[in-house]
Amino acid sequence: MDIPSISQTLADKAASARANSSTTKDAASNLSDNYDNFLLLLTTQLQNQDPLSPMDTAQFTQQLVAFSQVEQQIQSNKNLDKLINLQSSTNAYSAVSFIGTSVAIDSDKVMLADKNSRFDYTIDKTATKATMTIRDKNNQVVMITEADGRAGTHRAQWDGTDVFGNQLADGEYTVAVTYEDAAGKKYTADITSYGVVDSADIEDGAVYLNIGSIRVPMDKVQHISKPEPADS
C-alpha cells in the first residue's frame, strides 16, 4: 500500500500561511487535522506492509519534516500577528500626540483657515519667469500671480482672496509653481504646506494625520512643532 502524497497539500498550506497571517488560527486547526489523518494512514500502512518489501522510511520522514516546517511557519505568523497588534497600539498612542501640533508636509495641498494659508516653494535654478497658480477642490483656478524666480526656498502666505479680490471660503486648495530657465525649459517647484493637525486615523497599523480635509501619511511629514501664537 502506497502512502498518499500530501506534499502538494503541505506546500499549499505553507504558501497560504505565508500570504495571510490572519488565517493562522484556521491553518493551525487544519494542520492538526491533517497530521492526525497522516498518522492514521501511516499506522495502517505499517500494519499492512509486505514483510518482504518493507516501506521506504524516507518518504514518510520527509512528510513529517514538511509538517514540522508548516507548523513553524504558522507559529511565526502567530508571533507576527502579536507584533502587528502591539505596533498598532503603539501607533494609536503616537497618533494622539500629534493632535494640535503644527506640521510641514510634502504636499501641494494647502488648507485655508481664518483667511490664511502658508506654504513654501523651492526653485532649483534661477528662473526667467515663475508663476504661482492656486486651484480649488473643483480644479478651478482661483488665483494666478507671479512667483519669486530666484533659486532657493521661498515662503508664501495666501489670504484666501481670488484674482478679483473676493474672499474665498476656508477649505482645501492646490498650489502649483511653474518656472522657466534662460533656455526656455519648464520646471515645477516642490511645495511644502503647513497646517495644524486636528485629528488622526490609524489604518492597517499606519498613522494618518488630518489637517482639515487633507489626509497625510506619516512619511509625508517633514517637520513637527508647537503651533505658532495667533499674533505671529
- Per-residue pLDDT tens digits for 50-76: 666 665 666 666 766 666 666 677 667
Q: What is the pTM of this model?
A: 0.60
**Could you give the 3-state DSSP secondary structure of residue 171?**
strand
**Where are the extended beta strands (E) located within 136-205?**
141-146, 152-158, 171-180, 186-188, 190-196, 199-203
Low-confidence stretches of the chain (pLDDT < 70) are 1-43, 45-46, 48-61, 63-71, 74-75, 79, 81-94, 205, 227-232
- The Cα 196–Cα 209 span in angstroms is 10
Give the per-residue pLDDT at 89. Answer: 59
- Per-residue pLDDT tens digits for 29-43: 665 556 566 666 666
- The Cα 24–Cα 74 span in angstroms is 6
- Reference 163, options 186, 193, 189, 142; nearest CA is 142
Give the per-residue pLDDT at 82. Answer: 65
Its CATH architecture, for the domain 102-225, is Sandwich (2.60)
Give the domain ranges of the chain: 7-98, 102-225
The helix-helix angle for 7-19 and 57-98 (nearest 10°) equals: 10
